[in-house]
Structures are given as C-alpha cells and as structure tokens.
Structure 1
C-alpha cells in the first residue's frame, strides 16, 4: 500500500484532499493535531496531519490469485497460499481499524470534537462513537458549514437514539402478575424492588406482595420486611420449591407479586440452575436483570451471558449517582438488544428511581446531570 501525508487546517479539508487525490476507497491510517512554528520557535498555528493510503489495482498476469470461494481449477497458486494472503489482508484491515478507533477524537472537526471526547469519557463503545462521528461528518460534508456546536450536539443525540431504536423502554407493564427481579450480590436489588413496589402501590393502587428467596442474608430479609410493613403488604420467605408453590397459592388474590431472588455470583452457571429449579419461569412473569453501573463492563457481560436461558425483559441499572460514566449502559443494551426499564440514582424510596426512555438516557450521556 502506498502511503501519503496530507496537512490542512481542519479534518474536513484534509479528508477532502485525500478524497480528491486517492478517491472514496482511500484508507485513513492515522491522524493527529500538529503545530507549525515561527522563526522564534514559538507555536503558531494548529493543523491536522493525515496519513492515508490506497491499495493499488492489481493488473492481471499469467499468475492470478483467485478468490477463496470460487477459485478456478487452473489457478497457479495453491489454495493454502491464497488463504494465507487473504488472512494477511484481513489482519491488516483490522489493524488499520484499530488505529483509527484509538485516535477517534482526532478524526473530526473542532465543531464536534468536544462531543466525541464526551462520548469517550463516558466509555461508550468505540464503534458506536465512530457511528455518531461519521454521521456528523457527513452532515458537515454535505454543506452544513454554519452549524453551531449545539446543533451538532442535537444531531449526536438523534443518532444515538437511532442506535437504540427498536429496543423496549419503560417500567412495569402491569400486564403480568409476577415480577422476577434477578441480579448479582451488591447491586441494590432489594432496595430497587422496594422502589418499584412503592410506585405500584402509590401510583397504580395495586395490591402487592413479596416473595424472597434470599435466605442467605438475614439482613436482606429484614430489610424487605421493613419495606413490606410500610406498604402494608405481605411477605413470604421461600426456602424450597414447595415453599414457593405455597406462597403462590397464598398470594392468589393479589395484583402484583415481587420476587426478590438471592444475590449470588451469577458468573457461575450452577447458581442459574439453582434459580431455575426453584422458580417457575412462566408466561405470567416479567424478568428483570439488575446491574450496577459501578461494575466493570466485562464483569457485567459475563453475568448477562449466564442468563441466556431466562427470558430477560429489560435491564435495570443501579448506582448511577456513584459513577461519572454511563456508556456501558448503552453498550450492553445495543450488544444484547435488551431495553431498559429503570435506572436508580440514590437510596431514597421511592424517589431515587427513574423510568427509562431512549431520550432521557441519551440526554444523560451527552449532557450529564
């Protein structure tokens, strides 16, 4: 691949030079901000330096490298050679994409560089950042030179909402009786259930009850009993399958039953199996997975992967008030094609819980509090 360096005052002008010189299929290898100096050695002018290249068009000769899927019988090079070459080309393209993602904030003009940096700080997936940045670049490229930073911010919000399009948002449907709340230990699951239950009683005037399978922590049971007393609602503690079935019979006349499952290390499959043996995951049940925004995204991913056999309706993210980055929330929703019911931002019951929409999540991502 032949490489060439281009310098311009803005990224848009640099890209225009690349396009004019190398065409639409040029590959950007790297880009960075550089400064020219005056004769006194002082920094004088900021500019953008881009290194781009283009794979040369191969002329056909007596030796041809066939495509892997339909290589002709008279090909000079064996299949294993062509496979090796194709693999090397794929690795090269992957490396170029990695370089581009590492310098994503330098690939776009000043008008929305601040927005890109904000998304990076929020730890949004680089691929999603690139999708937003490319959309903004196309808007500018199409002649919208006079747009202000606020205009680009609104366009970024619109693009992020598009990325979430089709995912379910919002709280309880109130169409199903049993609300099964799942999640690892330490995410604030019991408090979150109390907030959801309080909304059901105070706003929807529903008759509710609680079932807890969290018999490993006495404090959790006592905490749930306190909330139940405040809401004047019954609680059943379940130790076995028989206890669970008896609790369902006792709560037959109630509108909504909240099930507080045991908080365990759900990266281990055996705990998922124990859960499935204890609770019947039926058609009249909504399942919500509670995750903490203070956890590492990789850890949350491992937990979600363990719940593939349980039909999770939506996520609930907690502890938003304890972190400065919420990009993982959107990353996981897009990756697993799961929506969002609620997010919580404090310990107060029932105040510190918000019903989620795509608009308010994107607003928090772009604007912050």
Structure 2
C-alpha cells in the first residue's frame, strides 16, 4: 500500500488535496489535530494531519507454480497484533470525515440551487453564522418577492433581507437600563467582562442621566475584583459595598435605598454547574424590583452560551449584554440566541475603554452590523 501524509488548515482542505491526488480510491489511515511549533513556543497554529493509503495494483505472478507438496507453515496467533481497537478508532475517524464532507457538499449543492440574485445574501448570512432556520425564514420571504417581481435585483433582495431581519428582532425588548427598577443585577460567567461593563453602564448613568449611583459586589472570588470596582467607583464618586452573605446584601440594599441606581456585580463562576447558580439565587434578590442582565461573550461558542442561558432559566432575565464584539468577525450567534430564548439586547460592548466602548441595544444598529459585510 502506498501512503502519503497531508497537513492542512482545515479538514475540508485536506480532503480536497486527497481527492485531487487519489480521487475516491484512497483509504484514511489516521487523522489528528497537530500544532505548529510557533515562535518561542507561542502563537501555535492548529492544523489537521491526515494519513491516507492507496492499494497498489497487483502485477501478474510469473513465478513457477508451487507444488502442493510445499510445506505450509501455521500462523502463530501470538505474533499477530490485535487491530480491533485500532480499526474501531479508524472507523470513527472515517465516519467523522465523511460527515464533514457530506456537510460541505450539501451546503455547496444548496447554494447552487438558490437563484443567483440570492446567493450573495445567503453566503453572507452563513458567514455571519446565522442559524439555518432563520436563514430559511428570510429566504422564504425573498422567494415570494421574486415570484411577484421577476425583475428583482440583488440589491433589492438585500434590502428585503435586512427588512425581514428587522421585523424578526423588533418583537424583542431593546435598550439598556430603564431606571424603572432601582436595582440592576449583572449576571454571567467568569471572563466575560462584567465589572468593566458595569463601570460603563454606571458612567453613562452618572454623566448622561445625572443619576446618583452606588455599587454592590459579591465577587469575592476573583483576585483584584473588588479593587477594580472601587477604582471605577472612586472616579464616579460612588459608594461600594462588598457582601459575603445574604444578610450583608440586605443591609447594603437598605443603605442605598436613597440612590437612583444600584448596580450589583455578581461573582463570575462556572455557571454551567447548577450549584453556583443556586448559591447566587440564595445570596441576592433576583425577582423583586430588580432588572436582571445576563452578560455573555461573543468570543464564546454558541453552544456554551446556550448552556449558560439554560442554567439561568429560573431567573427573570429579559435582556442580554454581549461583550467583546471587537474580538470577533461574526455576530450571528447573538441573534440566534436572542430569537431562540425571546430575549432582547440591553447593551453590547466593543472595547475596553470606559465609558466609550458600549452601546445600547438597537434593532436598526444590530441589523446594520449584521449586514455590514454586504457594503
């Protein structure tokens, strides 16, 4: 068997090289993820290594016929390795590769089946990682428009797609703090930037709305979290209370009863674990006269964000806050989650500057950001 190793940036790219060299006659021997060495051990690049083999055609045997009297040696079973486990692993890898190729081929076939006037729109929506259901709903509307107007252009359909998404999102509550509730809980897992986001919201309330603001923090787990919040609070001349127990929380709530807005910075934990969610619910009030924002990072996987949202399903959360928009090129996951869970957008952040890099949720702005690649 002839064997050859391929290294590519993606599995479909590796498969393309294999098909070019061997067609469909190759056999996948192994596949794995590898990382380049990088500069000084850093900036390692993820790649895929695939080893394939192809059976060589047998040549005619011109040797003299061997008589039946030849001695036949019995096979030594102890010398034969057990390939059962290895073959099972190879089969699993083959199934995964076939699934990848099937997905790629299906997408290409679907795109070819779409009218040429719509292909750029569909490509953009897929690039933004909008889910298939929403893409299908928008495409259905575009098909109807094309049926009623045979002279539709790509630009006309692009506008129609934007209007369709606008109508979909208009049903959700948008905008940030309403000041109808005095207390605002800012919830979310570790690493999403809750404290910086709270500082941005507080700065807007003080500088633009002239509100009297106070802070409560339960984030006693993260090193430097309290000092970070106190730094922002000193700049805004706002008081801070650190709470460790539900009794501490009740005292702080009473202490700040005369303020216009009290922002509560909750501890960042792995909220995929139910225990931490239950602990939080016992520590602070999440239901009475409060506005709850769930903060999620756009750099996280959509599946992981969905798991966090599910864990907070018992909380009264009407709106999300999405952070780190400046660190990603796609925002489809934001829209997918908003529509799936029927939650609006309070704010999104696109940088670390306080209070500049924050914007209130707006349907028009969100649609513009989503279709920006069409310009």
Query: Structure 1 length as normaliser, TM-score?
Result: 0.71
- Counterpart of 1:133 in structure 2 is 139
Q: Which runs of 5+ in 2 are unaligned?
A: 1-103
Partners of 2:165 and 2:309 in 1: how far apart? 23
Q: CA deviation at 1:103?
A: 4.3
The offset of 1:101, in angstroms, is: 6.6
Contact kept in structure 2, 1:178 and 1:284, CA below 8 Å: yes
Deviation per CA, 1:158-214, whole angstroms, max 9, x where unpaired?
111122231101111111000000000000110001000111001110000000000
In 1: Cα distance, 2:274 partner to 2:183 partner: 24
Cα offset, 1:107, TM superposition: 3.1
Q: Aligned equivalents of 1:226 and 1:102: distance in 2?
A: 53
Provide the residue aligned with 2:274 in structure 1.
Answer: 269
Q: 2:263 aligns with which of 224, 246, 258?
A: 258
Q: Deviations over 1:293-320 (max 9, x none)?
A: 0000000011000011100020000000
**Are the counterparts in 2 of residues 108 and 133 from structure 1 also a CA contact under 8 Å?**
no
CA apart distance, 1:143: 2.3
Flag the structure with larger Rg: 2
Alignment of 1:263-342 (within 5 A): 263-342=268-347
Figure out how many residues of one structure are paired with residues of the other and give that number.
273
Which one of the candidate residues 95, 118, 134 is aligned to 1:112?
118
Distance 1:205 1:364, change over 3 A: same
1:283 CA drift (Å): 2.8
User: Contact (CA 8 Å) 2:287, 2:315: kept in 1 or not?
Assistant: no
Contact 1:181 1:261 in 2 (8 A): yes
CA contact (8 A) 1:213 1:261 kept: yes
The residue aligned with 2:8 is: none
Question: CA distance change for structure 1 residues 361 and 103 in 2, over 3 Å: closer, same or farther?
Answer: farther
Counterpart position of 1:224? 229
Structure-2 change in CA distance of 1:288 and 1:102 (3 Å):
farther
The secondary structure found in structure 1 opposite 2:336 is helix
Deviations 1:127-181 (A, max 9, x none): 1111111211221121241x33222111000111122231101111111000000
CA distance in 1, matches of 2:149, 2:208: 50
Query: Alignment RMSD, CA only?
Result: 1.9
Q: Does the CA contact (< 8 Å) of 1:210 and 1:234 recur in 2?
A: yes
Match of 2:203 among 190, 198, 213: 198
Query: Relative to structure 1, is the Cα distance of residues 297 and 238 closer, same or farther in structure 2, using a 3 angstrom cutoff?
Result: same
Given the superposition, is the C-alpha separation of residues 286 and 101 from structure 1 closer, same or farther in structure 2, using an over 3 Å criterion?
A: farther
Q: Which residue of 2 aligns with 1:153?
A: 158
Instruction: Note closer, same or farther for the CA distance 1:335–1:104 as it changes in structure 2 (3 Å cut).
Output: farther
Give the match for residue 211 of structure 1.
Answer: 216
Worse-matched range after superposition: 127-136 or 169-178: 127-136
The 8 Å contact of residues 101 and 130 in structure 1, kept in 2 or not, is answered as no
2:89 alignment partner in structure 1: none
Cα distance between partner residues in 2 of 1:313 and 1:250: 27
Distance 1:188 1:103, change over 3 A: farther
- The CA distance in 1 between the partners of 2:153 and 2:341, in whole Å, is 35
CA distance in 1, matches of 2:348, 2:108: 30
Once the two structures are TM-superposed, the CA of residue 99 in structure 1 deviates from its matched residue by 9.0
Structure 1 Cα separation of the partners of residues 109 and 232 of structure 2 = 50
Give 4+ residue runs of structure 1 displaced > 4 Å after superposition.
Answer: 98-103
- Cα distance in 1, alignment partners of residues 227 and 163 from structure 2: 45
Secondary structure at the counterpart of residue 176 of structure 1? coil
Secondary structure in 1 aligned to 2:216? strand
Write out per-residue CA displacement over residues 15-69 of structure 1, whole angstroms, 9 at most, x where no aligned residue: xxxxxxxxxxxxxxxxxxxxxxxxxxxxxxxxxxxxxxxxxxxxxxxxxxxxxxx
> Contact between 1:292 and 1:319, CA under 8 Å: does it hold in 2?
yes
Q: Is the 8 A contact 2:287 2:316 kept in 1?
A: no
Q: 1:142 to 1:202 in 2, by over 3 A?
A: same
Task: Return the alpha-carbon distance in structure 2 between the equivalents of residues 173 and 107 of structure 1.
Answer: 47
Q: Please, what TM-score do these two structures have when normalized by structure 2?
A: 0.70
Residue 309 to residue 281, structure 1, CA distance change in 2 (3 Å): same
